[in-house]
Every structure is written in C-alpha cells, then in structure tokens.
Structure 1
Amino acid sequence: MSDRQARPGYLLLEDGRRFDGTYMGPETETAGEAVFTTVMTGYHEVLTDPSFAAQIVVMTAPMQGVYGIRDPDVQSRRPWVAGFIVRHLSREVGSGPADATLPEYLASHDIPTLIGADTRALTRHIRDAGAMRAVLAHDGIEPGRAAERLAAEPGMSGRDLATAVSTPEPYELDPSPDVEVRGLVLCLDYGVKTRSLDLFLREGYRVRVVPCETGVNELLDARPNGVFLSNGPGDPEAVPGAVDRIRALSDAGIPLFGICLGHQLIARAFGARNYKLPYGHRGGNHPVLNHATGAVEITSQNHGFAVLEKDGRIEGADGLEVTHRNLNDGTVEGLVHRERPVFAVQYHPESAPGPHDSRYLFTRFVETMRERTAATTR
C-alpha cells in the first residue's frame, strides 16, 4: 500500500457523526457495522476472524503493524472485515521475522483502511451511542452518495452471516503422526477459527469441518465423538435450521461444545432467547467469573448478541444453568445443560488473540467425549 494511493477519507456513521483521516483501499465506498476491539495485539487474527464479517473494525490500541504479518497467525481462508480503522499504521517491522508488513497485507487484500482518525473519540462515541451502520469512503465519494449507501446497508439484527462465512465444502484435518488418534470431532462451521481446530488436533482428534447447513442425517452418520459449534457473525436468531439441528444432535446423546455464536445457538436450541448488546464485547481483556471455581478468567471476546436471562436464570430454558458471568455488565458468559453432555461459553477460549485462561474448556470437552464414549461401549 504505497503513499501515492493515500487520499483524504472519512467514516460516516448512521447518526451523522463523521471522522476524517487518510484513506487507502478500493475506489468504491464500503458499508458495515462500526465496532471497536480493545485487543492490544493480534491485528492479523482480527482481520481474518469470520466473526468480524460485515463490520468496520476500530482498533483502540493506537499503533498497529509493529510486528508485521506472520502467516501462522491467519485464522481463516481470507480476511472478513468490511473495513479497518487505526490511529497509526506502522510501515516498518520492529520485531521479526515477518512475512509481510501490515500495509502490504491490507493492500494485497484491498481492505478499506482509514488511518489517523481519532480512534479514541470514535470508540467513546460507539460506546455511548452503540454499534451502528457506517460507511467508509475516500473524499471523492460525496457525502450524499455515502448516505445512500449507508441507508441501503442492512442492520445486524435479523441478518444471517454465518451461512455466508461457513465452509462451502466439508474438509478433514488429521493430528500429527506422533499423536495417538482418539476419535472424531465434528465442527459445525459458523465461522470457525484455525486455532480452535488446532487445539482438537493436539488432543489427538481428527476434525471434520462441515457447512453449517449440513443435514442432521449426514451429521449422525459421521458417528462423531462430539460436535463443536464454532464462533461466527450475525444474528443467532437468523441462522436457518440451527435450532432443530442442534436439538437433534443432543437428542442422539452426542456431546456438544459451543463458543460465541455456538453458545447462543445452543441456548436457543433449549428454549432461550438472544438479544443485541448496545456495543458488544470485543477485546482480549474481559473479566469473567467462573461460578464453579470462583476464579476470574480474563477472556478474549468478539460478539454483539447475548443470552437473555431473568433473576439469574436463563429465561425459557429451565434445563440450562449459568456457569460463567461477565463482570463488566453481568451478562451470561457460560452455560451447561443440567442432564445432557452440553456446555458452551460466550467468549473465545481458543484465544487467538488473547489470554489463555480458558483453554481448559477444550480439555473439558475432550474429557466429556471420552467419558461418553466409555459409557456407550460398556
């Protein structure tokens, strides 16, 4: 992304607020939901996280790009963000080795980028007014045209994005040859990140990733030891067929583990409802209380919806129990079924990027699968 491509640009928010900076990217304007993330590092993981699909992401940490781009950090088959906003963009790699600079990566994928905007003021505005639709454009796009594009952009409520980011074809991953194969984990891909799959492979499980619209019979015919419901973007209430699919898997006695969108869908499958948060949880420093241990876990999060509760209970889902709670706003961060091998958390325990406090949940799922397998083979 060379200097000659740079030109004045702006972000126009749905409520009329405008933030100016230097624009780099495609000639046409780009629309999406303006959100912010508080991660201090991990911009490559942010860019390639499918949960950020159709969103213009504001990085609150002022300097981005100092360690460049490293191919092992990629979390999916391509970047998904609709736009990228930073205060300072480093053109030099301060610590290596790196496969590319961040400006080179943004240019190679034609990601609309606004540099030099007042990200502190923008973050405070989103925090106070809520996440909202926005348009990112260069100064050759008249504000009137940008406003028309903004008006045409659908809101996040009622929007199915998981189907769009899900893998179009099934694929399978095998553990390394020096690891004993324990069984098969089936991943319902609503926008899965590579790090989650890697953690199952390390535990000795083959992983078969399938489109989120895969039929129940095909899922059951695979005879998995467990089913992992991944993270993903959009409104959980808009994902077609998810509730019936999850309920059928659980009725068959298969252990289920969900994160992020998968957590919300599991809740819905057992009678709960979801609602949209004002500005969501996005960052690598969210404190969550584990009710079972009393420990506070610092978690990585990226979601805009949550599970509805009333008086400490998940409303409409008596079979579910709250296991984790967000200490910032009190929202439900984890749940478990009282009788079935089903549990889920709202956050990202694969931690890409973010702290590793919650990696134990993958081990817990492995133990659940082993116990279930042992019980059914006696």
Structure 2
Amino acid sequence: MECLPLSRGHNFSAGPAALPEAVLRRAQAELLEWGTSGASVMEVSHRGKEFMAMAEQAEADLRGLLAIPANYKVLFLQGGATQQFAQIPMNLARPEQRADYIVTGDWGEKAVREAGSLVRAQVSATSAANNYTALPPRADWDLDPASAYVHYTPNETIRGVEFHEVPDVGGVPLIADMSSTILSRRIDVSRFGLIYAGAQKNIGPSGLVVLIVREDLLERCPSTLPKIFSFAEHAAQNSLLNTPNTFGWYLAGLVFQWLKAEGGLAVIEQRNRRKAETLYDFIDTSDFYANPVDRAARSWMNVPFTLADSALDAAFLQQSRDAGLLALKGHKLVGGMRASLYNAVEQASVDALVDFMRDFARRNG
C-alpha cells in the first residue's frame, strides 16, 4: 500500500480528541510487532507476561504523575464515563440513601438523571438559571452530611465552565467526573473519594475509562451486584476480571510515558494555562468574538465562543477547516464555536487559531 504524505491539521476536537504525535508515531512503529512478543499488542493475551508488565507500568506511571496515595486503587475499565453515572450509585450507595449532585452543565444533568433510578439523587446546587455560564455560589449548596457522596463535574465540556478549586464537602466522599481535566494539571487525589475519567480527552482512545477509588469505599460494593459491575471485583482482579480494552490500555500507557518525558504535570499545567490565556485574551480584546462564561469559571480545556454575526458561522467553519483548523463547531445544544485545548494541542495550534480568527474578523468585520 502506498503511503500518502502526512497532512495533520490543528485538532481542536472536544473528544475523541488529539493525541500526542509522538505517541501516535510510536504506536504506528509498534503496531505489527510489539516489543519481543512477535505480534501486535492487540494480538497477545491480556494475561500474558508482556501485557501484564505493560499494564503494571502504566499504573505505576499514572500513580507517579498524579501522586496517587497507596490507599487508592486504580482501575482500567471498559466503557466510558457515562457508564459510571449508573455504576457509581450501584457501588457506593443504597437505594434509599441520598446522594448530592452539583450540576453545572449538561454532563452533570445526565449524571444525576441516570442516578435517579438507583438512589435518592438530590440536585444540591445548580447554575441552570444562568444557562450554565457560572458556578453556583458555595453558600447556596444544600448538602446533607449523611449523604452517600457528593458528585460534581470539575469541567463541563459543552459550556466551557470549570471549577478551579476542589470544593470542600466535609467528610462526605467527593466524586469527580474528570474526563476532560484529568492529567491537565496537578491535583490532590486525597481530596477525593473517587475520580473517574473517560480516556478520549487527555488519556488515550475512547472505549477506556480510568477510575481511581479510595479503598475503604470498595467495602460499600454490594455482594449481590453482578461481578462485572462491581468496583471491588475489578479491583480484586487488577482490572482483569474480563478481557480489557488492551489497545486502549497500551496507548494510555504511552501517553503517561509522554507526559513524564515532557516534564510531568507541573509543566503540562503551565502549558495549558498559557494556551487558554492566549485564546481568552484575544477574544476579550475583540469586538467580533465573545465568550459567555463568567471569567472566574472559564475552562482551560474547552473554550466556546460566538461571532458577532451568527450568519457568518458557516463561512468561519468552512474557511477554518480549509486552513487546517479542525473541529471548531460548537456543540449542538449551544451553537457557535468551541476550541478544545487538551494536552496534545500545542501552543502553535492555538497561535494559528488566533491568527485565523484575527484575519477572519478583519475580512468580515
């Protein structure tokens, strides 16, 4: 088969999202023959020594990157974050128990709605009244100290709203859907009871979810729960209760190695802050573009923006695509544009986007 010239664009997709080019090139080089296995990583047993060594190294690298305490289990599971909307209440709460949900966007809405048939899910705070463009004031949160847990979404990808501090919820376990923020900065894992993240933003390909859970919470998992749904059973089997997403796990491990080689999360955090500031600063100094989110709650990862004249949206999307700027169309619920700035999106891509936006405004303003 003839190899075509490489022509990769600047990928601003909200997910599945950009992966580091170095990771893709290494996976490409190893695709047919992985290590000394004589086969592809997709063709070897998940219980063979080569795969198990890779899996152990991936977990060790993730633990190092996030400084995960020893009393937390790390699980590499199939499915995505949406599946955890149901599995979390199934594992951590009794049906009659209350669970508090902080809702700051569409993913939070989905999480509490899914949990509602499994537990007494309570919307304890919401910013729906301001169309999810800000965070609900902490003083307005109605939390019950007897709740099974408090669930929140640190970053809402659709509206571009983000918590920049971990909320204090007392002694109740804090559950976080970190699908779009995990590994984008340093965090204190000990502040959380459970963290879960779909892989397709900052970890790897879709179809894999990483779950970090404090060991004492595994004692809550009902023995009557089918094993395939039980966090405790997966933890006891080191995420090998059933055949895992072997290729996704392998690629996640390559991403962890890439993050370490880049200098770890302190370096990645600085890069992500700079990328976001570059785009927001340009938008804020323009009378052609606007961002609707309260400045204190603006996401580093997902930047929605609108044009002064929405009639120009189609032209903006077509011309940006022609310029190699990919996946800038906003979510169907809000329209406009959205640039997602995950770890693999380089500063050069953000600079190229700003240059295009400046030129488009000059030609159409």
TM-score between the two structures when normalised by the length of structure 2: 0.27
Higher strand share: 1
Higher helix share: 2
Which protein has greater RCO, CA pairs closer than 8 Å, 6+ apart? Answer: 2
